[in-house]
Amino acid sequence: MEPISQGMQGPAVEDVQTRLSSLGYMIDAAEMTAKEFGATTAAAVRAFRAQQGLDAGEDVDGTCWSALVDESYKLGDRTLYLRLPNFHGADVRALQRALNTLGFACGVDDGYFGPHTEAALQQFQENVGLFADGMAFQDTFNYVNRLHHVWEGKPSVIDVEAEARMGFARAASVLESWSIAIGGEDAIARNVASRVWNIATATTDGSGIVLYDDVAPEDVDLTVEIASDALPDDAEPRATITLAECNNLSLRIKTAVAAAATRPIKLRIELTGITGYGTFTSSDAQTLAVRLLDGLCDALSD
């Protein structure tokens, strides 16, 4: 493209000015009204080029224009999915930052929608009960925006440390203030669910956790369904956490709870890849139960 430079006037200059202004660069009102590439527009271009690590200058050449377009995208402006060449821009970076902060690690917020971002997006969609296709349409953006109070303004969590154990008093406080129904879909899952209930009851006499068999009660705050197998392909999507793929359980639960639009909140915990008949021991079940209860109490403690 021909560089857009000082002294020029017209729609191309107006487009540059509008994009720079939306990014917070100051341009004189008279220049914008006249659609004129004047001194303040040139200063804004110089500052933008420096911020982007481009060669010093005040012209908008092809490289600068591409960077300016990338930085102008807002989350939700376009559908994002994995393709070649990768989508890239500020909207992708915002999605990555939200996913990382919410507990769905996709690596460094580099603004490129690659396979790690797609995998993290699929996990997020599954977590909030959307169809997990790895494509960010408006329904996905609606959930990300609904959770803005959880991730906005917070640093991206790129490397997730091991899950921490809850303190006794803090766990007891959560158990006494939340009513939670927990049940299992199969024998192993019911074993884990009953152990969660046992630990909660031993933690405090006022525990709000109850066991259910076939049908979960509706007069609770949260229903936790544990299953050894994944949902069938033709099942209705629901908020789901696959435990084997998760090393930040409390963040995942917190995201699912914050995203829920109705009560009781319904959450499915899948043990796929963890359990196996003949190899899954009572010690394994106890370890999972402790992990689940810690994750629940940590997520619900705020």
User: So what's the pLDDT on residue 68?
Assistant: 95
User: So what's the pLDDT on residue 65?
Assistant: 95
Asked whether residue 97 is domain-assigned, the answer is yes
The CATH number linked to 209 is: 3.40.50
284 plus 185 within the same structural domain: yes
**Residue 53 CA: distances (Å) to CA of 27, 37, 50, 64:** 21, 22, 5, 10
Q: Which residues contact 98 (CB under 8 A, 6 or more apart)?
A: 75, 144, 147, 148, 151, 152
Domain C-terminal end among 72, 88, 117 = 72
Domain C-terminal end among 20, 45, 72 = 72
User: So what's the pLDDT on residue 143?
Assistant: 93
Residue that is written with structure tokens 């430079």 in the block: 5
Low-confidence ranges of the chain (pLDDT < 70): 157-168, 276-278
pLDDT tens digits for 19-54? 999 999 999 999 999 999 999 999 999 999 999 999
194 plus 175 within the same structural domain: yes
Domain C-terminal end among 22, 38, 72 = 72
96 plus 150 within the same structural domain: yes
212 plus 234 within the same structural domain: yes
User: So what's the pLDDT on residue 162?
Assistant: 45
**Which residue range forms the structural domain that includes residue 117?**
80-158
User: So what's the pLDDT on residue 168?
Assistant: 67
* Number of folded domains that form the chain: 3
User: So what's the pLDDT on residue 160?
Assistant: 47
Distance of CA 17 to the CA centre of its chain: 33
241 touches 288 (CB < 8 A): no
